[in-house]
Structure 1
Amino acid sequence: MGQRLVDKQGQQSQRMVIFGAIFLLMTLLILYSSNSGSEIIYGPFHVATNHHSIKTTDLRKWAGKDGYVAVYGNKNMTLHCHHCALVTSSSHVLGTHSGPEIDRTECVIRMNDAPTFGYEADVGNRTSLRVVAHSSVFRVARRPGEFLNRMGNTVVIFWGPPNKIGKEAKGTLYRLIQRVSMTYSNLSSFAIAPNKMRRFDNLFQKETGRDRVKTNVFFKGIHLKHESQTGLSLHFNRQKSQSWLSTGWFTMVIAIEICDNIKVYGMVPSSHCGRKPQPKKMPYHYYKPRGPDECVMYLQNERSRRGPHHRFITEKHVFARWAKQYNITFTHPTW
């Protein structure tokens, strides 16, 4: 009886040792994963480690003005500039006193509803081209005098799902864009055509080495084998990676299409938010001082695996590679 009790106690002790070893091993694995994750999030999410997976594209040959559809009238997208200033919406432009230099540039490119009024000393006053996402249409249309009618002729390119801004859809956003285009005679408005949207999407996948998601799916009983003019299949392409193109992506590609030389103001490099010590907190937009911190926004979008997010850091990694090919320079900060 005593021997059995001793054996039982020995077995229990042995099991406790085993359980303890397993617990310790699991703890070490969790700590290792956490530490590894904190390093990975600073790197680009999409760029493949196997360079053979990345297919570089000659954007000079890729470019084509036929992908832009006039919102009103029979205008063609013919803008071409030898020198362009691409002014970002980043708060890094504040305090740079770059306004006069920007205004002296042949063509000035801005994004969404980034204002110039009140910020002229740092971002200038002229606008040659403004690239506007479908999500910013209402903000731009609410104050067209500020964004669309400042000085001289302005080109505006709207991008988004064709079922929102496409000519065939004739939805609320399209009617609003059309009404604004009819009001201002010095304004040339274009929407990116569905086939051009597909090319922007394909370009992202080729330049990052990310596999394409097949669009041979069903949606509400409709079989979609290819990109349709509803814009739904474009979203299917992003469901696996949960990555959505940003206005910055569209603007940079369009700038390469129309500009021989590009100077970018306020864009940080892909490594910026991973620096040690941590960079100074900066508002995401220069015109929203109480808005979210830029690096918090970048990192949350880059590492998120749930819900649609932009991959800002990945895009900047690609931009750095393009800079060597397409005469792109970066200032404030310089990189």
Structure 2
Amino acid sequence: MVRRRLWTMKKVFFFTSVTVLCLYMVFYKMCCQKGNLFLTNRSNSTETKRLEYNLIQWAIQEIVRDKKVIVGPNQEDVTQDSFPKTIEAAQNHQLSSGVILKTSDSRVNGSSNSEIQFKETAVSKDLLPTSMVNRYLSRVRQLKEPTIVHNTAAKSTKIKLTLKNQWNSWMIWNEESSSNNLNRRLQTVKNSYMSMNKYAVNFTGTRKLKKLSSKELLCELKQRVQVMSIEYGDEAFTTSDWQEYIPNKTLTQALGPFKMCAVVASAGSILRSKLGMEIDAHDAVLRFNGAPTIGFESDVGRRTTIRIVNSQVMSRQELKFHDNNLYRTGTLLVWDPAPYSANLTEWFKHPDYNFFENYKRYRKDNPNQLFYIINPKMQWQLWDILQENTAEDIQRNPPSSGMMGILLMMTICDQTDVYEFLPSKRQTDLCHYYEKFQDQACTIGAYHPLMFEKNLVKRINQGSDEEIYMKGKVTLPGFGTFQCPKT
């Protein structure tokens, strides 16, 4: 009897343990591995409403232009850019009996034949006023297989209109992302870096009690972050050999000015994006470290104007920096983190990676290629702004190459389009599009305060949310295109 009870208790314990383990794995996969807690659903955003409005307008215009068969629009057909052209093309037509949105769904309004009537409207500058369409949008979302009916004295034309486009369930980067949502492993990593404080960060700034506007944040970056390179004559760079190797022109003198620039992140989510031609259409293109273009042209483009590498890429022999033709295209910039309060002499004596001799060797072998060393002051000026505008403590490590590259291009370009720094609908844990390694830390950060960088970029974005969702594209103004109040 006792043995039977023990056996029963063992079975119960075993099955309970298995059930709890399975539930934990499901919860972990949903909440941690996929990073969905760092995305925000914009199903009710004004951008979605505008897209729905444009979708209705698009279908009505196609009817007015006597289209017999309408398959349904592509995403590009209903964007704001193409919208005014469609209105203009329809201006010479007249509606005699208006347009009706109609459905046979019996669940709507308790009717078997529900209709939304857009009253008689002549085609003018505003085919259907925005206010009129917006008034019906809440009802339009309820329609099951809506049909647009165009009645004239001579005929009646019907088409089915699918309003279930994928923008209705956008998931885009949440600018309020917090490390409280990190999975346990990344929480541990972040806390380790915080306690380690390798760069002796002693933050004495003031946290912003009030959330700054986009314009205020842009002015903070413009006025306080000095995008500059090491120049001959700077402390520790005064000997004659450095005069030979450091370019005569400063970084901002040699590069630009450009009108339209692109920053191409190395994220795995850029695969299958087909953004290559759009990226190459920019006046200048910035890439990072060993990100290749050959074999990936359709997604990342072919051109490279500037490439930022970290000192580790130059120093590790297995990366073969000197032998790789990848680095011989465009202007090169290298950065290495210095201690938070160190001067240039202290940094020169104790760099993170001793890349200075490799720098001289590369300059000697490639004297005609511009190659700059980024002044490490820039990293911590940027870090201060990130910390001041974040309620919690961020990693006490320098910002990423991506964030420094974005600020560089904002300095020398009138407009900068950044691709896949904020993840698109193709978001993945694949770290780089040219490698197979996967880790969620590549998206939300471990060493770098990457999550907080993305929060800031989302706040200063001048583009639309659907461009983030579709392309991972953020549009930022150049520092020379706007004025800031004097400090």
TM-score range, shorter chain: 0.5 to 0.7
Distance verdict in 2 for CA 1:155–1:280, change over 3 Å: closer
- Say whether the 8 Å CA contact 2:418–2:473 is kept in structure 1: no
Question: What is the distance in 1 between the residues matched to 2:422 and 2:273?
Answer: 14
Matched, 1:116 2:293: yes
Matched residue SS, 2:249: coil
Question: What is the distance in 2 between the residues matched to 1:100 and 1:263?
Answer: 14
In the TM superposition, what whole-angstrom CA distance separates every residue of 1:106-136 from its partner, at most 9, and x where no partner exists?
A: 0000111111122222212221111112232
Q: Which residue of 1 aligns with 2:407?
A: 253
Q: Which residue of 2 aligns with 1:44?
A: 177
In the TM superposition, what whole-angstrom CA distance separates every residue of 1:274-298 from its partner, at most 9, and x where no partner exists?
A: x9xxx7644110000x2114x4643
Matched, 1:264 2:418: yes
Distance verdict in 2 for CA 1:53–1:320, change over 3 Å: closer
Question: What is the distance in 2 between the residues matched to 1:145 and 1:50?
Answer: 46
Matched residue SS, 1:208: coil
Question: What is the distance in 2 between the residues matched to 1:122 and 1:184?
Answer: 30
The within-5 A match list for 1:45-124 is: 45=178, 51-52=209-210, 56=217, 58=219, 59-62=221-224, 64-69=226-231, 72-73=245-246, 74-77=248-251, 78=253, 79-80=255-256, 81-124=258-301
Equivalent residue for 2:431, pick from 255, 267, 284 = 284
Question: What is the distance in 1 between the residues matched to 2:380 and 2:427?
Answer: 37
Question: What is the distance in 2 between the residues matched to 1:40 and 1:264?
Answer: 22
CA positional deviation for 1:169: 5.5
CA positional deviation for 1:198: 2.9
Matched, 1:320 2:474: no
Q: Which residue of 2 aligns with 1:155?
A: 331
- Say whether the 8 Å CA contact 1:86–1:108 is kept in structure 2: yes
Matched residue SS, 2:364: helix
- Say whether the 8 Å CA contact 1:67–1:196 is kept in structure 2: no
CA positional deviation for 1:161: 2.3
Matched, 1:176 2:383: no
- Say whether the 8 Å CA contact 1:90–1:285 is kept in structure 2: yes
Matched residue SS, 2:355: helix
Question: What is the distance in 1 between the residues matched to 2:422 and 2:288?
Answer: 16
Q: Which residue of 2 aligns with 1:145?
A: 325
Q: Which of 110-119 and 191-200 deviates more?
A: 191-200
Distance verdict in 2 for CA 1:265–1:210, change over 3 Å: same
Q: Which residue of 2 aligns with 1:214?
A: none
How many residues matched? 251
Distance verdict in 2 for CA 1:41–1:143, change over 3 Å: farther
Matched, 1:311 2:449: yes
Matched, 1:125 2:302: yes
Question: What is the distance in 2 between the residues matched to 1:166 and 1:41?
Answer: 38
Aligned-CA RMSD value? 3.9
- Structure with more relative contact order (C-alpha pairs < 8 Å, separation 6 or more): 1
Matched residue SS, 1:181: helix
Distance verdict in 2 for CA 1:149–1:99, change over 3 Å: same
Matched residue SS, 2:217: coil
Question: What is the distance in 1 between the residues matched to 2:285 and 2:306?
Answer: 6
CA positional deviation for 1:94: 1.6
Structure with max Cα Rg: 2
- Say whether the 8 Å CA contact 2:311–2:335 is kept in structure 1: yes
- Say whether the 8 Å CA contact 2:430–2:437 is kept in structure 1: yes
Show structure 2 runs of 5+ residues with no match: 1-23, 39-175, 181-205, 233-241, 475-487
Identity of aligned residues (%): 22
Letter in 1 for 2:438: P
TM norm structure 2: 0.44
Question: What is the distance in 2 between the residues matched to 1:104 and 1:186?
Answer: 26
Matched residue SS, 2:417: strand
Matched, 1:200 2:382: yes
TM norm structure 1: 0.61
Letter in 1 for 2:337: P
Matched residue SS, 1:263: strand
